[in-house]
Amino acid sequence: MSVAYRVVQWNPQKRIYDGILLAAVAFYVVGFMWVTPLFDTNADPMNVPIRAYGSAAFILLTIILSIGPLCRLDSRFLPLLYNRRHMGVVTCALGLYHGYLVLNWYHKYGNIDPLVSLLASNTNYDSFFSFPFETLGIGALLILIVMAATSHDFWLANLTAPIWKALHMGVYVAYTFLVGHVVLGALQSNTNPILATFVVLSAFWIVCLHVVTAWRENRHDQNTSLDPEGLIDVGPVDEVPEHRAKIICASGERIAVFRYDGKVSAISNACQHQNGPLGEGQVIDGLVTCPWHGYQYDPASGASPPPFTEKIPTFAVFIRHGRVLLDPTPHPAGTPVEPAIVPNPSSTQSPDNQEFFVGYFPTMTKGMSRFISRRIAVLLLAVVMLVFVLPVLHGEYHHARSDFRDVREFDGFLRAAPAPHIVVVRPGETGKHAFSRYVLIGRGKSGPKIDVAGLDGKYVRVRGTLIYRDGGTMISVKGAEEIPAPSTSAKTEPLDGEPLGTYTLQGEIVDSKCYFGTMRPGNTAVHRQCTVRCIAGGIPPVFLVRDESGNTMSFLLVDSNGSTVNDRVLSMVADPLEIKGEVVRLDNLFVLKADPTQYRRLS
């Protein structure tokens, strides 16, 4: 690290590690997108990959935060630790693509920049249930980007290990943000308690794992008392394993006391690379080798062998009456200290045979290899199970359809109020309700880009794609022109509306395009930003009402005079509301006429 920086040097272990990682991620994402339509034929072709990449990032970050504590509990997990940075970069990439898909699907094609839309559409920071959960996702993603960008050892050396380590501890903040993002976001639109339980258990697992590890580590960090000479009694020489160390704690710092080749030396326990635990390392070729990444130090001087320049503090040690004594006052990093000589070295124990492995070794020990292989097999099996379980837990998509590629022609009367729509005569029907009404919208998050005022009341031919759901229909208009009306049109000209009376209704405001289309609004704050952008761009707002059985009914929303209310309801979308107003039926459409200033928010 202190000599030069090179392109990553791949060894067989790194290739196997990254191969399994990338294969598992690809299998999960592709499997998620393949399995979802099997359980729900109405699956939104854009929302499915958004869920796939987002859930993959959440699962991977949960695994990342599990590796460190597992290594402290069982050193056989260490092979998973060495390339954990690779896993972090993959998590960041998954999160970035998830964010790109969300931005492109929910915020693009609006009347303002997508990033501005993302940040400005919801500012209810004082409400828990309406909290802009996207902000938490952005915060988590920014932290992951910083960590991925500084994952190279160049930054570790130039920022110094303490600063670099503190920076990368931000992963816990990122995970907290991500849990909040999921809980306040995806779970608001999903009534399946198992999915909520899965997220909560994931967070509970991480918390408990770290608490147990901290409790176990804390037992070893009790400061050792001093004798009258100010020395620490480490214990009998035979308690220090050959070629390994006994770790003690003094003044809140860990010290590693090594026994090797008939000598005893003491050095700081913290490796200069990533503060790795040197006391869990081994003396190889006369040098203390860190178990994390293989950095080496002379146990007598605390200095790395030339040309490397890393140095750590050293401590004076003595052997009296078969016991090791240590002066807890540290010498400056790299200061040579004469080792204590072990009396009668021929009677000492043989070198420790415990398995030892560091990341640069080309192969793992047989015991570690078997241990890791079994754990990876279990993990891959869990990935397979999640591929089939999570798409089901996410809940069914609504029965809706958007024929994006099927451009059709529709002939009928164009009406500008209460929202631009075309009135089509139903074949073979006459009388009071012989018409179907199709609300007209434009491409993206906008109203129809045609001369609505000039064509109002005229017989036109509209070209566009059909969007429909639960009897409601819309046309995404590509063009419109006036054409001669058929000779029967005088007998079947549509009525202006049928008043049904005054009602008090409870529900929430959604945009008609998303509701009639394949997305899932009408579930509190999940689609708030998209709804705001659509309504601000000219999409007619709809008041969505549900009964106790979950059945829904939608009403085009206008004011008491029948005028549009788009710019007056933006602050109230996706919130529970109570509206009292006059209901008017326009064939298959229902209109709710009410003064926006009289809308009442529900708790």
pLDDT digits (tens, 9 = 90+) for 319-345: 998 899 999 999 999 999 999 998 876
Single out the residue of 235, 266, 260, 263 nearest to residue 329, CA to CA: 266
Is residue 47 predicted with pLDDT exceeding 70? Answer: yes
Is residue 41 predicted with pLDDT exceeding 70? Answer: no
d(CA 369, CA 55): 29
Torsional sign, CA 116, 121, 123, 129: negative
d(CA 191, CA 489): 48
Biggest CA-to-CA distance, the chain: 119
**Which tens digit of pLDDT belongs to each residue from 239-256?**
899 999 999 888 778 999
Which residues of the chain are in CATH 2.102.10.10 domains? 232-347
Position with higher pLDDT, 550 vs 376: 376
Helical H runs in 103-192? 114-120, 133-149, 153-159, 161-168, 171-184
Distance of CA 290 to the CA centre of its chain: 33
d(CA 188, CA 16): 39
| Kind of pairing between the strands at 435-441 and 472-482 | parallel
Q: What is the mean pLDDT of residues 224-231?
A: 79
d(CA 292, CA 156): 15
Q: Render 544-576 in DSSP notation, one character per residue.
A: EEE-TTS-EEEEEEE-TTS-B-GGGSGGGBTS-
What's residue 568's pLDDT? Answer: 93
pTM above 0.85, yes or no: no
For residue 522, name the pLDDT band (cuts at 50, 70, 90): very low
Q: What is the per-residue burial (b if ≥16 Cβ within 10 Å, else e) of 591-600?
A: bbbbebeebe
- In the structure encoding, which two tokens stand for residue 51, read together? 């869920």
Beta bridge partners of 546: 552
Q: What is the mean pLDDT of residues 7-22?
A: 78
Is residue 267 predicted with pLDDT exceeding 90? Answer: yes
- In the structure encoding, which two tokens stand for residue 35, read together? 């399995």
For residue 519, name the pLDDT band (cuts at 50, 70, 90): low
Distance of CA 149 to the CA centre of its chain: 18
Q: How many other CB atoms sit within 10 Å of the CB of residue 456? A: 14
Q: What is the mean pLDDT of residues 78-106?
A: 89
d(CA 23, CA 589): 50
- In the structure encoding, which two tokens stand for residue 189, read together? 């639109």
Q: What is the per-residue burial (b if ≥16 Cβ within 10 Å, else e) of 510-541?
A: bbbbbbbbbbbbbbbbbbbbbbbbbbbbbbbb
- In the structure encoding, which two tokens stand for residue 597, read together? 């200033």
User: To 5 degrees, how large is the angle CA 506–CA 509–CA 511?
Assistant: 150
Q: How many residues does the chain have?
A: 603
Is residue 90 predicted with pLDDT exceeding 60? Answer: yes
Name every residue whose Cβ is closer than 8 Å to that of residue 318 and which is 6 or more positions away in sequence.
231, 324, 325, 326, 327, 340
d(CA 2, CA 296): 12
Name every residue whose Cβ is closer than 8 Å to that of residue 97 and which is 6 or more positions away in sequence.
53
Fold of the CATH domain 232-347: Rieske Iron-sulfur Protein (2.102.10)
What average pLDDT does the chain have? 83
**Which tens digit of pLDDT belongs to each residue from 343-380?**
876 544 555 556 676 766 666 777 777 888 888 888 88
Is residue 287 predicted with pLDDT exceeding 90? Answer: yes
d(CA 467, CA 399): 11
What's residue 432's pLDDT? Answer: 62
DSSP 490: G
Helical H runs in 404-501? 452-455
Is residue 46 predicted with pLDDT exceeding 80? Answer: no
3-state secondary structure at position 27: helix
First vs last C-alpha separation in the chain: 59
d(CA 438, CA 291): 69
**Which tens digit of pLDDT belongs to each residue from 429-452?**
666 667 888 999 988 788 898 999
Q: Render 85-98 in DSSP notation, one character per residue.
A: HHHHHHHHHHHHHH
Q: What is the mean pLDDT of residues 493-522?
A: 77
**pLDDT exceeding 70 applies to what percent of the chain?**
84
Q: How many other CB atoms sit within 10 Å of the CB of residue 368? A: 18
Is residue 96 predicted with pLDDT exceeding 90? Answer: yes
Name every residue whose Cβ is closer than 8 Å to that of residue 427 and which is 6 or more positions away in sequence.
none
Tell me if 526 sits within 8 A of 520, measured CB to CB.
Answer: yes
